[in-house]
Amino acid sequence: MLTPRVYKEIPQRYRLEANKCKKCGKVLFPPRLVCPCGSEELEFYRLPSKGKIATYTVVRTPPQNFSYQKPIVIAVVELEDGTRIMAQVTDLPPNANYHEYVKVGAPVELVFRKLFSEGEAGIHVYGYKCRLL
């Protein structure tokens, strides 16, 4: 029953809501109560939705709830403001040699997609993925 857990992360997964330290300028995603620099003076911040691939892999043995989609390509994306997040790379040609398309440095945009469904009768869980531009 994922609802209570998933509900809490909606602002992050749907709207990329983060916060930013007023003292040192570090962007915190997901938002935190205290910055690693020690300051608790934090302000609202939204992540940009474009960036490039910093590193990636093709996961050929994903966990059971993703096995229908395997293999899944996961990347660390460095967004335009320097923040890094991890996201699946979607909209790739199926069964292709992914390495011909996905490369370190490739520009991507974040998109709103269904991450997975909780079995046959549970909720659909939505969030961000990225796709090549």
Partner 1 sequence: MGVGIVGYGVYVPRFRIKVEEIAKQWGDDPETIKNGLLLYEKTVPNMDEDTITISYMAGKYALQRAGVDPKDIGALYIGSESHPYAVKPSGTVVAEALGITPDVHIADYEFACKAGSEAMFVAYSHVKSGNMKYAMAIGADTSQGAPGDALEYSAAAGGSAFIMGTEGLIAEILYTYSFTTDTPDFWRREHQMYPQHAGRFTGEPAYFRHVLSCGRKLLEMSGLKPSDFAYAVFHMPNGKFPQRAAKILGFTKEQIEPGWIVPWQGNTYSGSSLNGLSATLDVAKPGDLIFMVSFGSGAGSDGFIYRVTERIEEVRDKAPKFKELINSNKMYLDYGLYAKFRGKIILNPHV
Partner 2 sequence: MRDVAVIGVGITQFGELWTKSLRELFVEAALKAIKDAGVDHIDSMYVGCMTSGLFAQQEHLGALMADYLGQNPVPAVRVESACASGGYAFRLGLFEVASGASDIVLVGGVEKMHTGADATAALAAAADAEYESFIGVTFPGLYAMIAVAYKEKYNIPDDVFRKQLAMVAVKNHENGSKNPNAQFRAKITVDTVLNSTLVADPLRLFDCSPVTDGAAAVILCPADMAKKYTDTIIKVSGSGAATSTIQLAQREDMAWLDVVENAAKAAYKMAGVEPKDIDFAEVHDCFTIAEVCVIEALGFFNPGEGIKAADEGKTALDGEIPINTSGGLKSKGHPVGATGVAQIVELVEQLRGSAGERQVKNARRGLAQNMGGSGASCTVHILEVV
Binding site for partner 2 (CB under 8 A): 5, 9, 30, 54-66, 72, 74-76, 84-88, 98-99, 104, 115-116, 127, 129
Which of 30, 122 has the CB closer to partner 2?
30
Take residue 124 and report the two structure tokens written for it.
Answer: 């659909």
Residue 72 CA to residue 66 CA, distance in Å, equals: 8
Take residue 62 and report the two structure tokens written for it.
Answer: 């994903």
Give the x/- contact pattern for partner 1 in 28-67, rule: CB under 8 A.
Answer: ------------------------------------x--x
Shortest Cβ 121–partner 2 spacing (Å) = 20
- CB-side exposure of 88: number of CA atoms within 13 Å? 20
Shortest Cβ 90–partner 2 spacing (Å) = 11
Alpha carbon 115 to its chain centroid, in Å, reads 10
With the C-alpha atoms ordered 27, 85, 132, 55, is the resulting torsion angle positive or negative?
positive
Residues that bind partner 1 (CB under 8 A): 10, 14-15, 64, 67-69, 90-91, 93-95, 111-115, 123-124, 126, 129
